[in-house]
């Protein structure tokens, strides 16, 4: 697509934000008032006091982990920038500056998986080594319900109870023809005492939704696991834990797993395994790329809630943070009345975002630790916890704790450590990092951060 067309779409999408600004500020005002009435020092204090440590210490923790992961992100940024510059030309993508936000294959630049083909060409013939799950689902005529059954089987292989009849009767799996519904995927604990748990999703038969199903079922099996606890403890150890369960399983959707459940042949699996950089690149363009994004979003909100960012500076500070953390900039100067944060669902929807940051980190910590405890000794991206008794036992025990213990203890019960750490993610992507370092050897990496 020519660059000017995507700029129109990018700018148009953001025009919707402008009229939200004053209403958003009013919402913040009301929120702060409510938080004060509950005894907190405003919304920032309320939001970040839920992590079993003082809000300020928790925010420092998130920064500490980001410092660990930044070298990996920087290396990926450097490589992607160079490839995009070669493709579009240096007048559109400079080899030393920020990435223009409209060319990253996603409306917010929060995942770059859609530009995989532009930034990575597999060593061997790409089409022959890559497993295309979307095509497999279509070719094997696996429908929406069967996709959910496959994900359920994964949980059952780990010792979880099968989903209840009411789950299958009352969930929404397919977009209805006769009425409008909110298709944003979600998982609901309607009444866990009688096991009334449901998901609401308009499943499409593709690889992305296959992952999303695992994500949503992660919530469902968490609800189920802690349903015997007193109501007050029927929550995740923290909200990041809740988001991380299904994502943990997604890391186990390896070529060998797909072979085990009959979706690919042994030959296809071994061909995919022979090109680990291709596998890891695809995952990193989503998993690594989203880390600074999930961090910056609430960095912005924290300062807006406290008033440190003045109403006139809302948009400027948004782009300052995007530059600082992500090395991404707007493709055009922004209008004086622009309110670009309004174009992201979770800002007007007022959904905290740090949970996704935590989940991004935690899923790798869970994965590495379970793989080690299983005695797996290959590269982490080849490890699958599917059908493993030890992994299942550890995971079920952790989920069953709900919020009855502080999250550090839940983490310790499963992984042996009480600390959030980026090291597991670095270990997972080690082969990719080594490859990136070689690619970047002659390039100038980094960008001007302010």
**Which residues are registered as beta bridge partners of 100?**
329
Question: On the CB side of 388, how many CA atoms lie within 13 Å of its CA?
Answer: 19
DSSP notation for 27-79: HHHHHHHHHHHTTSSHHHHHHHTSSSS-HHHHHHHHHHHHHHHHHHHHHHHHH
Does 219 participate in catalysis according to the annotation?
A: yes
Q: Is 137 exposed, middle or buried (0-12, 13-18, 19+ CB in 10 A)?
A: buried
Does 242 participate in catalysis according to the annotation?
A: no
**By C-alpha distance, which of 157, 368, 372, 133 is closest to 255?**
133
Does 185 participate in catalysis according to the annotation?
A: yes
Q: Out of 215, 242, 367, 381, which one is annotated catalytic?
A: 215
H or E element that contains 197: strand 196-200
Residue with tokens 């998130």: 62
Does 367 participate in catalysis according to the annotation?
A: no
Residue closer to Zn ion by CB (options 102, 214) is 214
Residue closer to Zn ion by CB (options 101, 295) is 295
User: CA angle 392-397-399, nearest 5°?
Assistant: 95
Q: Out of 79, 214, 219, 242, which one is annotated catalytic?
A: 219
Q: Out of 184, 345, 419, 449, which one is annotated catalytic?
A: 184
Residue closer to Zn ion by CB (options 81, 344) is 344
Q: Out of 3, 88, 346, 382, which one is annotated catalytic?
A: 346
User: CA angle 144-201-203, nearest 5°?
Assistant: 30
Q: Out of 130, 144, 152, 216, which one is annotated catalytic?
A: 216
Residue closer to Zn ion by CB (options 245, 269) is 245
Does 184 participate in catalysis according to the annotation?
A: yes
Residue closer to Zn ion by CB (options 220, 433) is 220
- Residue 131 Cβ vs Zn ion, minimum distance, rounded to whole Å: 25
- Residue 212 Cβ vs Zn ion, minimum distance, rounded to whole Å: 9
- Residue 356 Cβ vs Zn ion, minimum distance, rounded to whole Å: 8
Q: What is the DSSP letter of 124?
A: S
Where on the chain is the footprint of Zn ion (CB under 5 A)? 243
- Residue 243 Cβ vs Zn ion, minimum distance, rounded to whole Å: 5
- Residue 185 Cβ vs Zn ion, minimum distance, rounded to whole Å: 8
Q: Which residue is nearest to Zn ion (CB)?
A: 243
Q: Out of 73, 353, 356, 386, which one is annotated catalytic?
A: 356
- Residue 219 Cβ vs Zn ion, minimum distance, rounded to whole Å: 6
What gap in Å lies between CA 193 and CA 234, rounded to an integer? 11
Residue closer to Zn ion by CB (options 106, 250) is 250
Q: Which tokens hold the place of 17? A: 């934000």
Known catalytic residues? 184-185, 215-216, 219, 243, 346, 356
């Amino acid at each position: 697509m020519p660059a000017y067309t995507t700029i129109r779409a990018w700018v148009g999408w953001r025009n919707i934000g402008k009229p939200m600004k004053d209403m958003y500020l009013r919402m913040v005002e009301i929120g702060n008032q409510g938080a004060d009435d509950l005894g907190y020092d405003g919304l920032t204090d309320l939001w970040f006091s839920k992590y079993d440590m003082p809000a300020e210490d928790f925010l420092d923790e998130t920064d500490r982990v980001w410092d660990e992961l930044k070298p990996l992100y920087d290396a990926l940024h450097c490589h992607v920038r160079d490839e995009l510059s070669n493709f579009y030309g240096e007048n559109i993508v400079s080899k030393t500056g920020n990435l223009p936000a409209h060319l990253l294959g996603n409306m917010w630049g929060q995942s770059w998986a859609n530009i995989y083909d532009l930034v990575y060409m597999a060593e061997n013939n790409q089409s022959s080594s890559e497993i295309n799950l979307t095509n497999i689902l279509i070719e094997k005529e696996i429908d929406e319900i069967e996709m959910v059954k496959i994900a359920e089987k994964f949980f059952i292989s780990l010792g979880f109870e099968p989903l209840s009849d009411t789950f299958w009767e009352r969930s929404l799996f397919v977009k209805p023809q006769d009425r409008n519904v909110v298709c944003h995927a979600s998982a609901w604990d309607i009444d866990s005492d009688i096991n009334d748990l449901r998901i609401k999703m308009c499943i499409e038969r593709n690889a992305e939704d296959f992952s999303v199903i695992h994500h949503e079922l992660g919530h469902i099996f968490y609800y189920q696991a802690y349903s015997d606890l007193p109501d007050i403890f029927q929550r995740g150890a923290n909200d990041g834990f809740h988001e991380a369960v299904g994502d943990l399983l997604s890391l186990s959707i390896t070529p060998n797993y797909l072979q085990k459940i009959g979706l690919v042949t042994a030959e296809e699996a071994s061909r995919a395994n022979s090109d680990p950089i291709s596998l890891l690149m695809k995952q990193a363009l989503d998993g690594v790329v989203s880390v600074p994004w999930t961090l910056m979003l609430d960095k912005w909100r924290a300062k807006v809630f406290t008033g440190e960012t003045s109403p006139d500076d809302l948009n400027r500070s948004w782009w300052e943070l995007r530059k600082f953390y992500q090395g991404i900039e707007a493709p055009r100067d922004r209008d004086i009345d622009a309110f670009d944060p309004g174009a992201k669902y979770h800002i007007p929807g007022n959904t905290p975002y740090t949970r996704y940051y935590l989940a991004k980190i935690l899923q790798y910590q869970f994965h590495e630790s379970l793989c080690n405890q299983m005695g797996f000794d290959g590269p982490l991206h080849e490890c699958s916890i599917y059908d493993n008794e030890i992994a299942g036992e550890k995971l079920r025990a952790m989920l069953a704790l709900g919020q009855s213990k502080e999250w550090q203890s839940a983490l310790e019960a499963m992984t042996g450590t009480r600390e959030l750490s980026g090291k597991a993610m670095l270990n997972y992507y080690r082969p990719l990092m080594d490859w990136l370092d070689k690619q970047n050897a002659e390039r100038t990496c980094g960008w001007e951060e302010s």
